[in-house]
Homo-oligomer: A and B are copies of this chain.
């Protein structure tokens, strides 16, 4: 699937390593903290977006039609600017099932995952999953998220260990 196919459809572009375009909204801009070359298999990523009225529908469509080799970089790529209409209500944390509060260490995450990442890096934590390494990162009563699976996902999504 390439931008040329399906002529009637608008497209979401990663123009190059540092630029995203949302043609439907007219938003075009550079993202200084975005470096696609560091995300495996995502140096060129496009997706068909038939139509959308909110961030959440855009993200869903983007995810559904994407031909990227790794789905894990999607939340990172698809994150629109903070002033995009609707962002705050609809953006999902790239790590867990919370609402994202903004970009933290390069990814759209909630406050919890932001702090978890900072502390894990600062203390150089090593975790081991008690199960199959595929834990669902969803909050349940009286139980924290699996630390090993949470930290692994932080790395996969490309969170920056050094801040900025």
Does A142 sit at the interface, judged by CB under 8 A? yes
Question: Taking the nearest CB of chain B, how far is it from the CB of A114, in angstroms?
Answer: 11
Task: Give the oligomeric copy count.
Answer: 2
User: Counting CB contacts under 8 A, is A111 at the interface?
Assistant: yes
Among B99, B101, B111, B142, the residue within 8 A (CB) of A111 is B142
How close is A56's CB to chain B, nearest CB, in angstroms?
15
Least CB distance, A93 to chain B, in whole angstroms: 10
Contacts of A101 in B (CB 8 A): 142
Q: Determine if A156 is an interface residue (Cβ-Cβ < 8 Å).
A: no
A98, A99, A110, A141: most-surrounded residue (chain B CB, <10 A): A141
A110 touches which of B98, B110, B111, B142 (Cβ 8 Å): B142
Interface of A is mostly: loop
Interface residues on A, range: under 10
Residues of B with C-beta under 8 A to A142: 98-99, 101, 110-111
Taken together as a complex, chains A and B put the C-alpha atoms of A53 and B39 apart, in Å, by: 54
Residues of B within 8 A of A99 (CB): 141-142
5 additional A-B residue pairs with CB within 8 Å, beyond A98-B142, A99-B141, A99-B142: A98-B141, A101-B142, A110-B141, A110-B142, A111-B142
- Taken residue by residue from 94 to 114, chain A's Cβ proximity to chain B (1 for < 8 Å, 0 otherwise) reads as 000011010000000011000
Residues of B within 8 A of A110 (CB): 141-142
Complex: A142 Cα to B110 Cα, angstroms: 8
Q: How far is the CA of A141 from the CA of B93 in the complex (A)?
A: 12
